[in-house]
Amino acid sequence: MVASSQPLATAAGLEILRRGGNAADAAVATAAALNVTEPTSTGIGGDMFALFYDAKNRQVSALNGSGRAPAGLTRERILREGFSSALPPYHPHTVTVPGACAGWCDLLERYGTLSLTEVLAPAISLAEGGFPVAPTTAHFWQAGANRQLKTAPNGHELTIDGRGPNPGEIFRNPGLARTLRVVAEGGKKAFYEGEIADAIADVLQKAGGAMTADDLAWHVSTWEDPASVTFGDYHIHECPPNGQGLTALLAFNLLEGFDLASMEPLSTERLHLQIEALRLAFADARWYISDPQFSNIPLAELLSKEYASARRKLIDPKRAVLDQKRGTPVASSDTVYFCVVDEVGNACSFINSNYMGFGTGIVPKGWGFTLQNRGHNFSLDPDHPNRLEPNKRPYHTIIPGLITRADGSLFGPFGVMGGFMQPQGHLQVGLGLLVDGLDPQSVLDLPRFCIDVDSGEQGGAVLLEEGIPWRTAAELAALGHPVRPVSGWGRATFGRGQIILRDSASGTLTGGSDPRADGLAMTFL
């Protein structure tokens, strides 16, 4: 089964499974096809993270495919150029080395069974022959065309005469097809060295950026042990920092101490506890999440049950506490999410992103993909662990999730994309699966809340999706939460998720795909 936000990308993954590929092969095929069909969210000019469940040994591995800041991008240079508090969102200085291509190749190298040429073939066909643009994608593509693509160098390559495509309109991307063919033939080296790397460095330097061809040539992915917590009879796995999966794990730990099963999923009592747990989790995460090569992150202590017990006491069931501060454990020393499960039970939870839609909107001339703006998440505070430094990975919002049972068997990969909504989505759909026993589609259909951590309001405004009862909204407001109702296209705030669950006895797969996007979950016999 493959579940993604685009039908044609789901079909690409299924095509690879039909050819005998496994979950890793199908995941990379789906990622590449999403680059073609949903460049508004993702692409080879961005980053990726993945969790892979190996059915043979029941082990979960984490792949960090995020890039680093250029070696020449120092805080002194930033200050000299007039930036003291934050970088503009689409500035070339926000471009970190795109890690997606290396991540795709490294996942195949360790777990794949097919060649890169075979795996990228469906995406190349879509890019060359063209595809009908899906409705939700068209809406956000048009917004991006009028925003960063309008002024970014070579941004017109991702438009039709300067505009975004209409729903159902055919879009062809010969530049991206060329990129994927070069990678298919030459592997990751063909992306990080040679004419693609030169084009990336050239367009960024001409726009005032610091990235060089050497920055690209030095890039490597990293394989890591996942971060995880127990929740009842389950193990919840996330990629460790610099990803923000820590936020979701902190919240799960906090909520394990409450009798959530006795509360209705959309009740005031339940939502209040979830919001308060996430406020505490974000207070820690926004400080501690950074590149572990540059900071000592007390991960084991942050995820301990003892720490959760102490922090849980800060949750008041009767009122919202809007001024939560980070704890001090003592240390001993715009995105696509999709998932794949193959016939033997291997699973891949995969996320790939440009950030902020098309990222910077900057396109290396003739290559048909935009460059991400992940560096916008660096802090310019010299005392912050996530401060901007050369060759450093920033705080990353994109996170894949995966759940196993106590015996190590696969429960399923899951995820919700969407900036700082992602750990909030992980918590909400995770509780729906593990506490309420809902099936994947039912849990994805439920309305959600989102704490707008950058709203400027103390504690963050609580955005409530259309469908949450008005009475619940009023009661949350009475508890002190600054609530804001959201409907229409604004519902994109609540992310878009995919889930596949596997029955351990029969091997039967049950999947779901978020109604807030264009995609679906699909299988074949």
Tens of pLDDT, residue by residue over 45-84, are 999 999 999 999 999 999 999 999 999 999 999 999 999 8
Residue 37 amino acid letter: T
**Distance from the Cα of residue 479 to its chain's centroid:** 31
* 408 three-state secondary structure: coil
Q: How many other β-carbons are positioned within 10 Å of the β-carbon of residue 189?
A: 14
pTM of the predicted model as reported, rounded to 2 decimal places: 0.95
Residue 406: pLDDT band with limits 50, 70, 90: very high
- In the chain, the largest separation of any two C-alpha atoms, in whole Å, equals 62
Is 80 exceeded by the pLDDT of residue 525? Answer: no
Helix or strand run (H / E) with residue 350: strand 347-353
Q: Is the pLDDT assigned to residue 343 strictly greater than 90?
A: yes
Domain ranges of the chain: 2-223+335-377
Among residues 218, 286, 282, 290, the alpha carbon closest in space to that of 254 is found at 282
Provide the pLDDT for residue 362: 98
Active site residues: 335
Q: Which amino acid is at 435?
A: V
7-20 mean pLDDT: 97
The Cα angle at residue 384 between residues 380 and 388, in degrees rounded to 5: 40
Beta pairing, strands 496-502 & 410-417: antiparallel
Give tens-digit pLDDT for 411-464.
Answer: 999 999 988 999 999 999 999 999 999 999 999 999 999 999 877 788 889 999
| CA atoms of 11 and 523, how far apart (whole Å) | 9
SS3 content of the chain, % helix, strand, coil (to 5): 40, 20, 40
Structure tokens at 388: 């901007």
Cα-Cα-Cα-Cα dihedral sign, residues 75, 77, 80, 81:
negative
Residue 330 reports pLDDT greater than 80: no
pLDDT of 275-288, one tens digit each? 999 999 999 998 99
Say what the pLDDT of residue 455 is: 75
Residue 333: pLDDT over 50: no
60's tokens: 């979960």
Q: Give residue-wise pLDDT tens across range 471-506.
A: 999 999 999 999 999 999 999 999 999 999 999 999
CB 152 within 8 A of CB 144: no
Q: Which two tokens stand for residue 462?
A: 């609580």
Which regions of 157-295 does DSSP assign to beta strands (E)?
Answer: 170-171, 222-224, 227-231, 234-238
Cβ atoms of 445 and 515 within 8 Å: the answer is yes
> Are residues 164 and 138 in contact, defined by beta-carbon separation less than 8 angstroms?
yes
Per DSSP, the three-state class of 307 is: helix
What token pair was written down for 260? 């959530």
pLDDT tens readout for residues 364-402: 999 999 999 999 999 999 999 999 999 999 999 899 999
| The residue to which tokens 């001339």 are assigned | 365
Structure token pair of residue 334: 């715009």
Q: CA end-to-end span of the chain, whole Å?
A: 10
CA distance 88 to 93: 9
The encoded tokens of residue 323 equal 């001024």
Supply the DSSP symbol for 6. -
**The pLDDT value given to residue 328:** 66
SS3 category, 195: helix
Mean pLDDT score across all residues of the chain: 95
CA angle 485, 490, 495 (to 5 degrees): 100
